[in-house]
Every structure is written in structure tokens, then in C-alpha cells.
Structure 1
Amino acid sequence: ASFTTLSECKIRIIMAEPLEKPLTKSLQRGEDPQFDQLISTMSSLAEYSLSSILRTLFDWYKRQNGLEEELHEYRPRANTKSKNDEQQRDYLLERRDLAIDFIFSLVLIEVLKQMPLYPVLDGLVNEVINLAFKHFKYKEGYHGPNTGNMHTVADLYAEVIGVLAQSKFPAVKKKFATELKELRQKEQSPYVVQSTISLIMGVKF
């Protein structure tokens, strides 16, 4: 419950910040001792009930991604065109999604360290792997204000995979091989090259 409350409070603050402010300024480890302590506590609890903590985390993640915020904090300037307002709103929603992923991956990195001590169902392991690999996909033609945040979140999910691979290497290797095979079957192009680099960067830890 305190994780939900604290996370939603942090997301609300982030939504009120300028789009240009990197998420790392608000969310990185060491920025908020209370939040760091909470993550540490969840990691300790995971020693005894990793599966249930993972399920709870995924429930929170899915719930957050299903919410449509009213964005009360967002006030478009009176002299901007409506199309520009729409784009700003899209960037703001994108920022919110990335903040959710940022928080989620930070917690995963810590709780998954308990994986060698506590067996977890393959279904949950695959759910983590599939979600992480989605963030390793190259986004062609994107030049929005969230580019830096996207790279940061992809790096955090790469860290998640690094922790997971210590105890579930065969599952990570299988997913990587499948993704790489799909890319190799495509006709060579700058997009395929960039996609391959993004995929490899996802398993750099």
C-alpha cells in the first residue's frame, strides 16, 4: 500500500514538471531516501515471497497503464495552437508511462536479486523478460522530448535482464536468440541494423 501511495505521489510530481526535465533528476536511486528505503524493504520481503511480490508489482503496473489521467497539472499556454496542445498532451502521457516503467524497473532490479533463493513460476519470469525486451526495440523516426528518458528506461530494463540472467540465463538466452533470428530474417536496412544494436544493448549487463 505504501509503495502504491508513494509511487503515485512521485508520478503526480513528475507530471507537473517541465517536459525537458530528465526523469533521472526525480527518480534515480539516492534522490529520495524514503523511496529507496521502501524498495529495500520490498527486496527483503522478496526473500520470503518473491512470487507474490512480483504478482503485486505487475498488478500495480497494469493498473497504472490502464489509467487515463485527467492531467489536472497540465495547463496549455493560451496562445498555442490546439494541434500543439495535443502533441504536448501526448508527450506528457508518454512521460507518465516512462515514469511508471522507471519506478517498476527500479523495484524489479532489487527484488529479482532474491531469485536464486526463491523459485518463481516460469510464467512470471517470461512476463518480466517479454516486458523488458519490448523496451529494447528501436523506435525509428522518434525525436520527441522523451528520447533521453526512453534510453534511460531501456538501460534500466537491461539491468533487470542482467539480474534475471544470473539465475534464469537459459530463458533470457532463448528470448534474445528468437528476437535476433527475426531481425536476421529481414532484409538488411538501417532500421534492421539499429534494431540489432538496440537488442544487443539490452543484454549488455
Structure 2
Amino acid sequence: MAARRVGNDLSRRKSDPTSSKLGNNEAVVAAELPWGSLKVVGNMSIDFHSLPAKFTVQNLLLELFSMFEKKIQYVCIEEPLDKFLNKSLKRCDDTYLDNLLRTLGNVSEVCLPSILEALIKWYEEQISIRKRSTNENKDRSQKALLAVNYLFCIVLIELLPQLHFHPTDCEKYVNYILHLSFNEISKGNRDPAAYGINLHNCLIVAETFAEVIGVLSQTHAKLVQKTFFTLLNECRKETPLTQSGVTNIISLLMAMKFYRIKTSQVSEIEQGVSFLDELASYYLEIDLKQKDLKHAIVGLLVEILLPVAAVSL
């Protein structure tokens, strides 16, 4: 039945409206884009009668999520467990994926809130699915979780620079992403033994979430600073400071690794200097015995100041 339907549809013109009527569980003929070539696809939740812009975004997202599913399966089942995610899912290594992300980034100029909503729903659903399957093979399920987080970050890094086109419409998504990023960065440091063979991949994911925070700092510097110091002050309440507390603070500092001070406006420079001043004050308050903590703060100051120095040269 499905084969006959496909054969009949292939003989129709693309403009024939009856070719977009879908039956349950049938293969259908559709175009990748309204003006593209025909291809046989499964019965997906695309509204073929929608406007071209909506259709394009839906198709892009479905194509992206389908590709991610294949990559997650490949990384977790066919590859060795100890292979690093940033090698398996290397950015700029898959031309088709790069083009998809670039296209999605371009269209997000006009519909970023909707794309972020769909992306977050996909992420939460994937995390829920992977967590339910942890009993089957703990290490592989854990790597799948990390792969989902890594791919989620890759998309965010591409999309979030468009936030300046939607200064108020994306606030709830920005808050969600920011708190999620800080939480995921500290997760591996809280209990590194729980990750076993996946510990290095956990650190890779943490660094990728730090990149997300860095991108957010370009449009929401005040919010990033406020969230950082709120979390830092929570950690500082612990007296005396235990090794666990020190580890949590260091992970927070590492989360700001990609924070960058913008130098195009005087107000932005002042805001950046204020942030550095607070960090320096905290450095002076720390006991001399906490060498690891002092070293982490100095390292962060260097990470932030070097790009500023490069711009001023």
C-alpha cells in the first residue's frame, strides 16, 4: 500500500496539493524545502500546509534532531567508551551538520524564541529517555547523556549570538540555559568518581557549557555576573571551608573561563572592570593556605584580561 502510494505520488507534480495528504504510518513524498527536490520521507509531524517560513524551521529542526539521534547512537554503541566526545562529534568536521547549524542560526534572527523552546523540549525529552535507560548499561547510558549535553551546547553556541535581535522575548530561556550551564559544570566536580570511564568526557561537556556562558556574556553580562556571584556567595557561606566547598568554588570559577569583557562602549568596560574588582577583592580575602583557590582565581583573571590586552595593543 505504502509502496503504491509512493509510486503514485512520484508521478504527480510537486504543486499537486493532494500529494501532501498524509495517511497513518505511510511513507510520503515531500520536498526538503517548498522549492526543493522531491524525496521519500517518513510520516513526520510537519504541517505541509504551513507557511514557507514555519515549514523551513520545522524541517530544519527535525533534520537536526534526526541527525543528532544517529550521532548519539553511533558514539555510544559503535565507538569505544573511552573515545572523547570532542573527537567523535568534532565541530567543523561534518559539512552537512555545519550547514544545518549555520542555516538555523540565520533563521533564528527572526524566530529565536520558538527555536529555543523546541530545542529545550528536545533536550529535556532526551535527558529523560537516557536516564530511564541507565539500568541497561550504565557507562554507555552515561555517555549518551553527555553526548546529548554536548550536542545541545553546540547548537546553543550557534544560536545565542542572535539574542540581540530578541532582547526581551528570550529571557526565560536565557535564565534556564544559564542555570543549567552552571549546574552541569559543577556536577562532574561534585562527584567525579561517579563518572568512571566517562570522567574526561564529563569535563569536556563542562567546558562546552562554559563556552555557552561565554556566549551569553556578550548579550547578558550583568545577568551572568549576578548569577555567578549569587552562586559564589552560597558556596562561601560554608565555614570552615571544606575541600568539597573549595572544589565547588573552583568549578564556578572555571565556568567563567570564556567570559569576555566587551570594549566597544565605556559602560561595558566599566561593568567588566567592576567584575574584575570583585574577583580581586575575593582573592585578597582568601586564606593563604587555600593555594588551589587562589591559583584558580588568578587563572580566571588571566583568561579574562588577555583578550582585553590583545584588543588594546
- Asked if TM exceeds 0.5, the reply is yes
Detail structure 1 runs of 4+ shifted over 3 Å in the superposition.
68-71
Are 2:231 and 1:183 equivalent residues in the alignment?
A: no
Q: How many pairs does the alignment contain?
A: 190
Alignment partners' CA distance in 2, 1:69 and 1:194: 26
Are 2:217 and 1:165 equivalent residues in the alignment?
A: yes
Q: 2:173 aligned to 117, 124, 129, which one?
A: 124
TM-score w.r.t. the length of structure 1 is 0.87
C-alpha contact (below 8 Å) 2:72/2:148 kept by paired residues: yes
Could you list the per-position Cα deviations for residues 17-68 of structure 1 after superposition, in whole angstroms to 9, with x for gaps in the alignment?
A: 2111111121120221111111111111111111111001001101111215
- Aligned CA RMSD, in angstroms, stands at 1.8
2:250: which partner in 1?
A: 197
Alignment partners' CA distance in 1, 2:180 and 2:132: 26
Alignment partners' CA distance in 1, 2:156 and 2:127: 17
Q: 2:152 aligned to 99, 104, 113, which one?
A: 104
- Between the two structures, name the one with larger relative contact order (CA 8 Å, sep ≥ 6): 1
Give the superposition deviation at 1:161.
Answer: 0.6
Alignment partners' CA distance in 1, 2:180 and 2:170: 16
Alignment partners' CA distance in 1, 2:149 and 2:222: 25
TM-score w.r.t. the length of structure 2 is 0.58
1:50-129 superposed matches below 5 A = 50-68=112-130, 89-119=137-167, 120-129=169-178
Q: For 1:28, what is the secondary structure of its paired residue?
A: coil
Distance 1:62-1:69 versus aligned 2 partners, 3 A rule: closer
Letter in 2 for 1:35: L
In structure 1, stretches of 5+ residues that fail to align are: 72-85
C-alpha contact (below 8 Å) 2:163/2:170 kept by paired residues: no
In structure 2, stretches of 5+ residues that fail to align are: 1-61, 259-313
1:125-164 superposed matches below 5 A = 125-137=174-186, 138-142=189-193, 144-164=196-216
Q: For 1:204, what is the secondary structure of its paired residue?
A: coil
- Whichever of the two has the greater Rg, that structure is 2
Q: Percent same amino acid at aligned positions?
A: 35
Alignment partners' CA distance in 1, 2:73 and 2:174: 30
Alignment partners' CA distance in 2, 1:58 and 1:70: 18
2:70: which partner in 1?
A: 9
